[in-house]
Amino acid sequence: MARHNFSAKIRRQARKRSDGRCEAVGSVYGLAPGQRCNASLDGKRVEIDHYPIPATDEGSDVLENAVACCVDCHSHKTRTFDVPMQAKGKRLADRHNGMRKPKGNWGQQRLGNGNRQHSATRPIIRRNEQL
């Protein structure tokens, strides 16, 4: 999936449109539905975010899809929305291509009483072998 980045011209226009205030709106950015952040962007790093069309979709690099937002709002959206959606897309693509999760639970085996091993680095000592 190719990423469609904003041109410098679009980034400047989005910054100007925001009038120095964060444009993030709604629950995707960790706010109440319909609420705008409005944090001051003056003298701070500004993130130009792709929303509502993801950066991987064609046509996402237009001004209408550019949101000038503060670092807090952008990191919340990335952590709770973008990364999980990318992971889901990869899982679906893998499933479509015939790739499945390996069967069995070898990777999920717990250390402890179930297998008589309390540490991954010490050898297993059986009761009749103790010194």
pLDDT (tens digit per residue) in 79-93 = 998 888 878 888 888
- Predicted confidence at residue 88, as pLDDT, reads 86
Mean pLDDT score, 61-71: 95
- Domain that residue 15 falls in: 8-96
Identify whether the C-beta of residue 22 lies closer than 8 Å to the C-beta of residue 75: no
Structure confidence at residue 77 as a pLDDT band (50, 70, 90): very high
Q: Give percent above pLDDT 70 in the chain.
A: 76
> 2 in a domain, yes or no?
no
Q: What is the mean pLDDT of residues 52-72?
A: 92
End-to-end Cα, the chain, rounded Å: 59
> For residue 117, is it within any domain?
no
- Pick 99 or 101 by higher pLDDT: 99
| Structure token pair of residue 116 | 């008589």
Is residue 37 situated within a structural domain?
yes
Q: Report the domain count for the chain.
A: 1
Q: Name the phi and psi angles at 58, rounded to 5.
A: -65, 140
